[in-house]
Chain A
Amino acid sequence: MSDTTLTPRRLTWQRRRQSAGRTWRQFRRHRTGLIGLGVLVFFGLVALFAPLLADHSGIEVTEATGGVLEGPSWDYPLGTDANGRSVLTLLIWGARVSLMVGLLATAISMFLGTLVGLASGHYRNFFGAALFRITEWFLVVPFLPLAIVLASLLGRSLLNIAFVIGVTSWPATALLIRAQTLSIEGRPYLERARALGAGDWRQMSRHVLPNVMPMVFANTTLTVAIAILSETTLSFLGLGDPLRVSWGSMLDEAFNTGAITTGAWWFFLPPGICVILVVMSFTLIGQALEEVYNPRLRDRA
């Protein structure tokens, strides 16, 4: 063996690398998951390189060069909007905002959900029970009305919309994490940790959290899908950042400027199709990951 200097730290990292490799090999067998990953990488690159693909001045209303709601042409492959801007340019820059809000909202939701779920599963006293009750109550509050009220009270900005989506979507994650925590807490190695005098924080952060993480990860991709759908819906209702273009705000504009009644399909079809593709690829990846991490599901189709 060449690994003569195997320190605990290196051993941990080696194990982590192996486990990541195993996950990837299992994930690779899910064709739908791979397709989702491919589509997602495409949209991610488009969002990342938006300044190279389309000039930012293309989304300024004052610098619009095209006609009103013109159909697709060589200059404007997806036609123009009611202000004479190229729809393709809007679509490319919209990918940025939609993905960014989706990821930011998910980060908030995951952080809150994991924290509350872990704590309510770990503490078997009044505190844990109270957290569980609160989670259940928040689950009852209908998402869209709450998001609408919050967004209208907080004002319209990119950060606010991400905050609103994050704050309204954490309870489902918290319940999932709580169930997972409860099942892990019953295992012998936690009893061992407790017997050795590990405190609450150490038990949660070093023993429970690493085992809950795979579920959090699989759930994250599903949450991003929901967050992007929510961003689109809230922007469509006119609650998005008025200074930025997202797929939802494009659809809002299309609806309000009569693109539907004049049959300007190039304006309202592409943003919707992009949303479907992104949401679907996140869902497919999430499903594939769930099957990889949850052996019970593996032999079911």
Chain B
Amino acid sequence: MSAPTSTLVAEAETQPSQPGRRRSGRWRYIGSKLLGSFGALMFVIVFNFFLFRVIPTDPVRTLARNRLVSQEQVDELTRTLGLEEPLHQQFLTYLQNTFTGEFGLSFKYRQPVGELLLDRLWPTLLLVGTSTILASVIGIYLGMVSAWNRGKRIDHLSTGSSLTLYSMPEWWLGLVFLAVFAVGAGPIPELFPTGGLHSTDVDPNSFAGGLDTAWHLTLPVLTLTLAYLAEYSLIMRSSLLDEMGEDYLTTARAKGLRDVYVRRRHATRNALLPTATLVVLNLGFIVGGAITIETVFSIPGLGLLTTEALEVPDYPVLQGTFLFFSIAVILANLVSNLLYGWLDPRVLS
């Protein structure tokens, strides 16, 4: 791996010394990242078009084989996709529809796909947001403990369990939790509800309703947290170990600073850099990853919407959720790049 280091050296040599040029470097960095994200967005939009039109030789015929779908719906799909028009005309119509938020009508719900997506957005955000915060805080802490006690029993224990969690389909863990804590196994009683977001008899907007939602979300959040915690703690551990060999830590210790202080204020700060960007980067993928967890715990979010759409198959909904999940990743990518630039000004030049 000599190439990355040599380019780093080259960059350091050409680093401008005047503050004015430094600032222009920052704008150029932000600009290039924005442009890159815009390119990716365009790619995803074009990809989404061809995915649903070119790969199945004829989506309408695929759909017509399904008995649940009526002739009217087939006609409607033909009209929405504009399949009788030439391809370039179809593409223009698609672009116009995408930018105005018109994704067509869902076959199953007979509702505009845009509305459906907005309805189902909040449960997913709640699930993903809570799990991300918990997973990153606990994961980073565990990674730090592991790295400081490298080679000791606690390190082996933490690394070993992280690896096991990492090798597990997260929804399987959800199934096990469901069987143990929601259905009850042996001496363990039924502690949690088996699925859904609210009980039917509670107003979701009241305080009791909030508690009820938290009750329903405990197991799914626990599952997702454990699934992502493993990755964060492994990354934090390895980046802290990388950092611990650096000279500036020896200097700090030689100055007479206490070990705890050196670790907390010097090593951890720098080691947080890759972990923080990974957490943000993952946020986009986690939204897609919530698909299985929402299915297992029947949480009415975007993931469940996707798996339900699979059964029909509800192409307008699938197209909409696919676009949404991709945009989530692009946004997360952009934010993590900007965050990295802000945390580590060396990349700006």
Contacts and interface: CB of A to CB of B under 8 A. Distances in A.
A148 interface: yes
A265 interface: yes
B288 interface: yes
Contact of A145 (B40, B168, B183, B291): B291
Given A183-B3, A251-B175, A154 B292 contact: no
A276 interface: yes
Contact of B291 (A144, A225, A260, A280): A144
Contacts of A238: 310-311
Nearest to A269: B176
A104 B184 CA distance: 40
Nearest to B302: A145
Contacts of A255: 175, 296
A300 B167 CA distance: 22
Interface residues of B, number: 59
B261 interface: no
Contacts of B292: 144, 233, 236-237
A195 interface: no
Interface in A230-268: 232-233, 236-239, 251, 254-255, 260-263, 265, 268
A54 interface: no
B171 interface: yes
A101 to B, nearest CB: 14
8 contacts: A140-B326, A142-B284, A153-B52, A239-B310, A251-B172, A261-B179, A265-B185, A272-B172
B103 to A, nearest CB: 14
A154 B55 contact: yes
A236 B150 CA distance: 38
Nearest to A268: B175
A140 B163 contact: no
A146 B2 contact: no
Interface of A: 133, 136-137, 140-146, 148-150, 152-154, 179, 182-183, 186, 225, 229, 232-233, 236-239, 251, 254-255, 260-263, 265, 268-269, 272, 275-276, 279-280, 283-284, 294, 296, 300-301
B167 A183 contact: no
A272 B183 contact: no
A290 B18 CA distance: 42
Contact of A275 (B172, B291, B310): B172
A205 B173 CA distance: 44
B295 interface: yes
Contacts of A301: 150-151, 241
Contacts, number: 144
Contact of A280 (B167, B289, B313, B321): B167
Nearest to A294: B1
B2 A152 contact: no
A261 B169 contact: no
Interface in B32-52: 36, 39-40, 43-44, 47, 51-52
Interface string B292-307: 1001100000000011
Contacts of B44: 137, 140-141
Interface stretch (B118-126, B200-208, B328-336): B328-336
Contact of A279 (B167, B175, B287): B167
Interface in B11-58: 36, 39-40, 43-44, 47, 51-52, 55-56
A283 B47 contact: no
Contacts of B238: 300
Interface of B: 1-4, 6, 36, 39-40, 43-44, 47, 51-52, 55-56, 62, 150-151, 163-164, 166-169, 171-172, 175-176, 178-179, 183-185, 194, 238, 241, 284-285, 287-289, 291-292, 295-296, 306-307, 310-311, 313, 318, 321-322, 325-326, 328-330, 333
| B-side interface mostly | helix
Contacts of B296: 255
A275 B285 contact: no
Contacts of B6: 186
A121 to B, nearest CB: 10
A186 B2 contact: yes
Nearest to B7: A182
Contacts of B288: 142-145
Most buried by B among A141, A229, A236, A265: A141
B138 to A, nearest CB: 21
A149 B51 contact: yes
A244 B59 CA distance: 26
A158 to B, nearest CB: 19
A233 B175 contact: no
A224 to B, nearest CB: 12
Contacts of A254: 175
B188 to A, nearest CB: 11
A146 B179 contact: no
Nearest to A281: B167
Given A133-B39, A149-B318, A251-B175, A140 B310 contact: no
Given A183-B2, A183-B3, A260-B178, A141 B55 contact: no
Most buried by B among A141, A145, A183: A145
Nearest to A182: B3
B321 A145 contact: yes
A95 to B, nearest CB: 16
B143 to A, nearest CB: 14
A150 B55 contact: yes
A251 B172 CA distance: 8
Nearest to A278: B167
Given A153-B55, A279-B167, 6 more contacts: A136-B40, A140-B326, A144-B288, A149-B52, A225-B167, A283-B163
B119 to A, nearest CB: 18
Contacts of A140: 40, 43-44, 326, 329-330, 333
B324 to A, nearest CB: 9
Contacts of A179: 1, 3-4
B38 to A, nearest CB: 12
